[in-house]
Each structure stands twice: as structure tokens, then as C-alpha cells.
């Protein structure tokens, strides 16, 4: 059976050149990068070189790059470490309603510890407007964390404007760039952020490795206490193969950013226009313009997203209802609800995310299966029967 993977926002396959770069560090160069001997020094050298390469690619200093176990840890560190280090200014945190669980759960924990958290709303397209931040920020706000691009609907936020507002009021600014990095241009200096999280497995690198960029002078408290790794700010034996892997993956992603962007956007745009042409009663969730090239998210009226997802899986097609982290929960997506989508439409929503290996033939196969499956499910739906019986009125 043909299999088509349209869940690149959940994770991407490892690029063969990345595996090749990593392999020696699993086998002959296995030393602990903190050991003094030559085995350790080979690892330490690889880590230094990887840090230097990432810094150069992002136009920041190597001392501003910290390796973590992934995007989740980087987000936890930025938020909890930042809130605790800067609580002298005040215990008010601002974030948005559409953040990833790594941020929202950290905020919930901080609320338990007596912090006040404001969750900014978004517009219909999933955009946080700078005015919303202007209205919410006060003298006690110490940290603002708004994602660069959303994982469910791909909406891209006006980070430069938001960071400038935070700075004017003396707060530090963190952005979760996990979905954006390697997919759209990200200029840290131009955005003006103090901290930024990203994760290797979203741009054809390994899982279990991420980066927190921390601007010189910004000092979030430690999240992981331990040895003296990461210049004493993050304990734990360095995962040398993964560090080598994320730097190689970032290099490839950024060196091929334009061509990958064009390809991914072309297959996504073809998919979106065909879905809208061939399937009635669909809603394209998210902003049409300010959007990641890999993301399409549709609400199919009168059907449950999960039923559609499972039927497509039987045809070899992988996509997602909500984010990978919340699948398994039958709660409607907090992101779609924040955009004002009613619960039943949020339940009928599916995310398709495209990648550099997706072909037009793959998309055409998915379109045929999708049209048929939506039709079959609607024919089983009492709501749809009522709708057609009433001459197209609910
Ligand atoms: N932030 C966003 C926006 C994400 O999409 C994800 C993963 O889906 C994460 C954070 C978590 O990253 P990781 O899987 O590396 O822990």
C-alpha cells in the first residue's frame, strides 16, 4: 500500500547526511565531552565546533547557545528560569492562549507558585496583535513568551513588535521558534528577542536535542542542576552525537531554506486549493498569509477529526488532529477554540503538514482519498442528513 506522511510538524525523518555526521560519535568517538583525556577531548571538540557552527548560522555568539534535551526543556528553562531570575521586577508573566503545552504547562506550574499569568487572545487567524500586549503589560511584568509560529495552524506572530513592547516596559522576551526554525528565515538580532527555543527533530535532525539561545547578559535560573556542563548552566552528560546532529541539520536546513520553502509551499498551496475546490463545507483554519509554508489545517463540517484521521491512516496517510502532544486527548484544540472556532468545528479539524520529501503525486493521492473519505463519513452523519434534508440549512 502507498504510504504518505503529512505530519512533518510532529516530527521529520532524519536526513541521511545528518546520520552520517553523527555516527562516529556513537562508536569510535564515544568519549564523555567532560573527560580530560583524548577520548573526551574528541567529544568536547565536536561540541565546541557544533556550537560555533550554530552561532555562525544564526549570527549570534557561541556563548549564547545552550544545548538542551529538546524544545520542551528549552521552553521550560526559559520560562521558569526567567520568571524566577527576574521576579524582583514582579511576578507577572505574559504569554498567549495558543502556546505549546511546554509553555502553557510551565505557566500553570508558575501560577501554583504565586505568579500571575496573562494569556493573550488571538484574532480569527491565530495572530497575537501588539495592542493586546500593550494593554496587558504592566510594571510587574518580568517575562513575555510568545511563540514565533504556531504548531497547529502555522500562524506567524509579529515577534519584533512584541519584543519591542516588552523591552520598553523593562520585561525580557522569549520566543518558542520550534516550528519556525529551518522553515522560514529567523533573524534573532532583528527580532530582538532575549531567548529563543528550537528543536532538532523539526528540521530533519535527531530527536531529544534542542537549543535555548540566551542573549549575553540575560541570566535565567538553572532548570537542570548537575555537573558543570553548558558553562555550569545546564547539568547532564552532553549528548555529543545529538549535538553534532542538530548543528548539521541546521546547516543543511538553512543552506537550502529557499528551495525547501518554495517546494513545501507549492505542494501545500496545491493541496489547499484542491481541497477548497473539491470538498464542500470546509473551513481553512488560520491566517492565509501570515502562515508557515508547511501547514494546512481544515475543519471538515459534519464529521469528527479522529474518524477521518483513522480512516486516512487505513489508506496509508498520516496526518494529525491537534498537535502530536495532545493527540490521545479528546479535548478540542485550545488553539482552534482561541481563534473562535466553535467546539464542533474544532472537533472536525485536521492538520496536514508537508515536508521536503512530499511530492505532488503524494498530494494527489491524499486528495483522492480525502474526498472519498469525507464523503463516506458525511453519508454516515445524522447531522449531515438533517442538513441535506433541510435543503442545506441547519
Ligand atoms: N514548541 C512547539 C511549538 C512545538 O511544536 C513542539 C513540538 O511539537 C515543542 C515546543 C516541543 O519540542 P520537543 O518535541 O523538542 O520537546
Q: Is 319 close to ligand 1, i.e. is its CB under 6 Å away?
A: no
CB 110 within 8 A of CB 79: yes
Q: Which residues are registered as beta bridge partners of 144?
A: 94, 173
At residue 270, the pLDDT reads 98
Model confidence, pTM = 0.97
Choosing from 73, 102, 159 the residue with most ligand 1 atoms within 8 A of its CB, the one to mutate for a pocket test is 102
Q: pLDDT tens across 156-166, in order? A: 999 999 999 99
What is 4-11+257-389's CATH number? 3.90.1150.10
Choosing from 11, 67, 68, 72 the residue with most ligand 1 atoms within 8 A of its CB, the one to mutate for a pocket test is 72
Sequential DSSP letters for 111-171: HHTT-EEEEE---TTS---HHHHHHH--TTEEEEE--SB-TTT-BBP-HHHHHHHHHHTT-
| Cα(245)–Cα(53) distance, integer angstroms | 12
Q: Does pLDDT of 202 surpass 80?
A: yes
- Atom in ligand 1 nearest the alpha carbon of residue 149: 3
At residue 390, the pLDDT reads 86
Ligand 1 center–CA 335 separation, angstroms: 15
In CATH, what class is 18-255? Answer: alpha beta
Q: Does pLDDT of 210 surpass 60?
A: yes
| Cα(274)–Cα(367) distance, integer angstroms | 7
Domain residue spans in the chain? 4-11+257-389, 18-255
At residue 331, the pLDDT reads 81
| Cα(12)–Cα(351) distance, integer angstroms | 15
Q: Is 348 close to ligand 1, i.e. is its CB under 6 Å away?
A: no
| Cα(77)–Cα(54) distance, integer angstroms | 20
3-state SS, residue 337: helix
Q: Is 99 close to ligand 1, i.e. is its CB under 6 Å away?
A: no
3-state SS, residue 205: coil
- Return the minimum-mean-pLDDT range out of 212-226, 260-274, 311-325: 311-325
Q: How many CB atoms lie within 10 A of CB 250?
A: 24
Mean pLDDT of the region 63-68: 98
Q: How many CB atoms lie within 10 A of CB 135?
A: 11
| Cα(183)–Cα(178) distance, integer angstroms | 10
Q: Is 322 close to ligand 1, i.e. is its CB under 6 Å away?
A: no
- Residues with a catalytic annotation lie at 325
Backbone region of residue 59 per phi and psi (left: phi > 0; alpha: psi in -120 to 50; beta: other values): left
Q: Does pLDDT of 216 surpass 70?
A: yes
| Cα(117)–Cα(209) distance, integer angstroms | 28
pLDDT band at 326 (very low <50, low <70, confident <90, very high): low
Choosing from 99, 100, 154, 297 the residue with most ligand 1 atoms within 8 A of its CB, the one to mutate for a pocket test is 100
Ligand 1 center–CA 199 separation, angstroms: 7
Mean pLDDT of the chain: 96
Q: Does pLDDT of 321 surpass 90?
A: no
Residues in the chain: 394
Mean pLDDT of the region 251-256: 98
Ligand 1 center–CA 218 separation, angstroms: 23
At residue 329, the pLDDT reads 60
- CA 146, 180, 204: angle at the middle one, nearest 5? 140
Ligand 1 center–CA 148 separation, angstroms: 12
| Cα(188)–Cα(235) distance, integer angstroms | 25
| H-type alpha helices, the chain | 16-22, 38-58, 71-76, 82-85, 101-112, 130-136, 159-168, 188-191, 240-255, 257-278, 305-314, 334-338, 343-347, 360-379, 382-389
Q: Does pLDDT of 100 surpass 80?
A: yes
Q: Is 196 close to ligand 1, i.e. is its CB under 6 Å away?
A: no
Mean pLDDT of the region 209-215: 98
At residue 322, the pLDDT reads 65
- Return the minimum-mean-pLDDT range out of 114-128, 134-148, 375-389: 375-389
Ligand 1 center–CA 77 separation, angstroms: 13
Q: Is 179 close to ligand 1, i.e. is its CB under 6 Å away?
A: yes
Mean pLDDT of the region 57-68: 98
Using alpha carbons, select from 313, 338, 341 the residue that is nearest to residue 327: 313
Q: Is 76 close to ligand 1, i.e. is its CB under 6 Å away?
A: no
At residue 47, the pLDDT reads 98
Mean pLDDT of the region 98-127: 98
Mean pLDDT of the region 246-267: 98
Mean pLDDT of the region 365-382: 96
Q: Is 296 close to ligand 1, i.e. is its CB under 6 Å away?
A: no
Using alpha carbons, select from 128, 125, 176, 175 the residue that is nearest to residue 154: 125
- Atom in ligand 1 nearest the alpha carbon of residue 323: 8
What lies within 8 Å, CB to CB, of 128 at 6+ separation is 96, 98, 120, 121, 122, 146, 157, 158, 162
Q: Which residues are registered as beta bridge partners of 211?
A: 67, 198
pLDDT band at 391 (very low <50, low <70, confident <90, very high): confident
- Please give the grid coordinates belonging to residue 177: 521558534
- CA 129, 111, 151: angle at the middle one, nearest 5? 45
Mean pLDDT of the region 213-229: 97
Choosing from 96, 128, 178, 327 the residue with most ligand 1 atoms within 8 A of its CB, the one to mutate for a pocket test is 178
Amino acid at each position: 500500500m502507498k504510504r504518505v506522511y503529512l505530519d512533518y510538524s510532529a516530527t521529520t525523518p532524519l536526513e541521511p547526511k545528518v546520520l552520517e555526521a553523527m555516527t562516529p560519535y556513537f562508536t569510535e568517538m564515544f568519549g564523555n565531552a567532560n573527560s580530560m583525556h583524548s577520548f573526551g577531548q574528541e567529544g568536547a571538540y565536536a561540541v565546541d565546533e557544533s556550537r560555533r557552527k550554530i552561532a555562525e548560522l544564526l549570527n549570534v555568539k557561541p556563548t549564547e547557545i545552550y544545548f538542551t534535551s529538546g524544545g520542551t526543556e528549552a521552553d521550560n528553562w526559559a520560562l521558569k528560569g526567567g520568571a524566577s531570575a527576574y521576579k524582583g521586577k514582579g511576578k507577572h508573566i505574559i504569554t498567549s492562549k495558543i502556546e505549546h503545552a511546554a509553555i502553557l504547562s510551565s505557566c500553570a506550574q508558575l501560577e501554583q507558585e504565586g505568579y500571575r499569568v496573562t494569556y493573550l487572545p488571538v484574532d480569527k487567524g491565530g495572530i497575537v496583535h501588539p495592542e493586546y500586549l500593550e494593554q496587558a503589560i504592566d510594571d510587574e511584568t518580568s517575562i513575555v513568551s510568545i511563540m514565533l509560529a504556531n504548531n497547529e495552524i502555522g500562524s506567524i506572530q509579529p515577534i519584533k513588535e512584541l519584543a519591542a513592547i516588552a523591552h520598553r516596559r523593562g520585561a525580557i522576551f522569549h520566543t518558542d521558534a520550534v516550528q519556525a526554525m529551518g522553515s522560514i528565515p529567523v533573524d534573532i538580532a532583528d527580532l530582538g528577542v532575549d531567548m529563543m527555543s528550537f528543536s532538532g527533530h523539526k528540521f530533519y535532525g535527531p530527536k531529544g536535542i534542542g537549543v535555548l539561545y540566551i542573549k549575553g547578559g540575560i541570566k535565567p535560573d538553572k532548570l537542570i542542576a548537575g555537573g558543570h556542563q553548558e558553562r555550569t548552566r545546564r547539568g547532564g552528560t552532553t549528548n555529543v552525537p545529538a549535538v553534532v546532529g542538530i548543528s548539521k541539520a541546521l546547516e543543511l536546513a538553512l543552506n537550502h531554506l529557499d528551495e525547501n520553502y518554495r517546494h513545501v509551499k507549492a505542494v501545500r498551496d496545491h493541496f489547499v486549493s484542491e481541497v477548497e475546490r473539491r470538498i464542500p463545507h470546509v473551513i481553512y483554519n488560520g491566517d492565509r498569509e501570515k502562515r508557515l509554508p508547511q501547514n494546512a489545517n481544515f475543519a471538515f463540517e459534519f464529521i469528527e477529526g479522529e474518524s477521518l484521521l483513522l480512516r486516512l491512516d487505513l489508506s496509508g496517510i498520516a496526518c494529525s488532529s491537534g498537535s502530536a502532544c495532545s493527540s490521545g486527548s479528546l479535548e478540542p484544540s485550545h488553539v482552534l477554540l482561541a481563534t473562535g472556532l466553535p467546539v464542533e468545528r474544532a472537533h472536525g479539524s485536521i492538520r496536514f503538514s508537508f515536508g521536503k520529501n512530499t511530492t505532488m503525486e503524494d498530494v494527489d493521492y491524499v486528495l483522492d482519498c480525502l474526498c472519498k473519505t469525507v464523503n463516506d463519513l458525511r453519508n454516515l452523519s445524522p447531522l449531515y442528513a438533517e442538513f441535506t434534508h433541510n435543503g442545506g440549512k441547519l
